[in-house]
């Protein structure tokens, strides 16, 4: 398989979405006193991870583009939980892509303790062969949720998906602690935002 050719439109989508979301972030900074977006990252799933996911889920090679929905992935990281829903609303009102599915793992956290809001979109991109609709996954989470998920992801990698029970339990407790931190920070949100404004004026 010519992976470079297959993945080229996915890279294009990741780059376009990053530019657009960064544009939204900049506009928020000019026009309002607080941007709901802290930072944006994006990646195309490495070929090795695509093949591993396909094998795990018994997806044949000719179905990879349809059945693996996060080959193009964008992550939007926010300061506060309610910023996540502001971003979700903004994405829902956009006309440049179609939302296919939404998964709220904040209201319904995963058993692991994972929290994030996932949006699956269909994004039309122009290629040298014409228009192609590419599926992409946008993950929206707070800094605390991102800290937890990054660490849990590393442990999952280390233990090849079989994290020992005692560490699993610690991770679940850590997920609750991270969520509590988000809740506490939300309660003093106005204070924090004022402090950030004073700091940036200096």
Among 86, 112, 172, 193, binds ligand 0O2 (CB under 6 A): 112
Write down the least CB distance from residue 27 to ligand 0O2, Å: 28
Judged by CB under 6 A, the stretch of 27-35, 84-92, 108-116, 193-201 that binds ligand 0O2 is: 108-116
Interface with ligand 0O2 includes 114 (CB under 6 A)?
Answer: yes
Return d(Cα 39, Cα 201) in angstroms, integer. Answer: 20
Q: Two tokens at 146?
A: 């991102």
Known catalytic membership, residue 137:
yes
**Considering only CA atoms, which of 97, 7, 90, 100 is closest in space to residue 49?**
7
How distant is the alpha carbon of residue 18 from its chain centre?
A: 12
Interface with ligand 0O2 includes 141 (CB under 6 A)?
Answer: no
Return d(Cα 82, Cα 28) in angstroms, integer. Answer: 15
Interface with ligand 0O2 includes 149 (CB under 6 A)?
Answer: yes
**Which of 31, 137, 165, 194 is the catalytic position?**
137
Q: Two tokens at 93?
A: 């009102």
Interface with ligand 0O2 includes 153 (CB under 6 A)?
Answer: yes
Distances (CA, A) of 5 to 68, 80, 127: 17, 39, 11
Active site (catalytic) residues: 137
Binding stretches for ligand 0O2 (CB under 6 A)? 45, 49, 53, 70, 103, 110, 112, 114, 118, 149, 152-153
């Amino acid at each position: 398989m010519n992976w470079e050719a297959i993945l080229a439109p996915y890279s294009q989508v990741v780059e376009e979405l990053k530019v657009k979301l960064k544009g939204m972030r900049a506009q928020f900074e000019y026009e309002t006193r607080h941007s709901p977006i802290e930072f944006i990252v994006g990646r195309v799933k490495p070929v090795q991870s695509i093949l591993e996911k396909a094998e795990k889920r018994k997806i044949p090679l000719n179905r990879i583009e349809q059945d693996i929905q996060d080959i193009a992935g964008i992550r939007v990281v926010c300061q506060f939980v309610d910023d996540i829903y502001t971003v979700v609303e903004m994405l829902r009102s956009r006309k440049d892509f179609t939302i296919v599915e939404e998964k709220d793992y904040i209201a319904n956290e995963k058993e692991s303790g994972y929290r994030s809001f996932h949006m699956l979109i269909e994004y039309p991109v122009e290629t040298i062969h014409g228009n192609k609709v590419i599926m992409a996954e946008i993950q929206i989470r707070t800094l605390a949720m991102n800290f937890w998920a990054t660490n849990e992801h590393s442990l999952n990698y280390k233990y090849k998906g079989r994290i020992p029970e005692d560490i699993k339990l610690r991770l679940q407790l850590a997920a609750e602690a991270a969520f509590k931190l988000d809740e506490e920070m939300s309660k003093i949100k106005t204070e924090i935002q004022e402090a950030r404004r004073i700091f940036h004026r200096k």
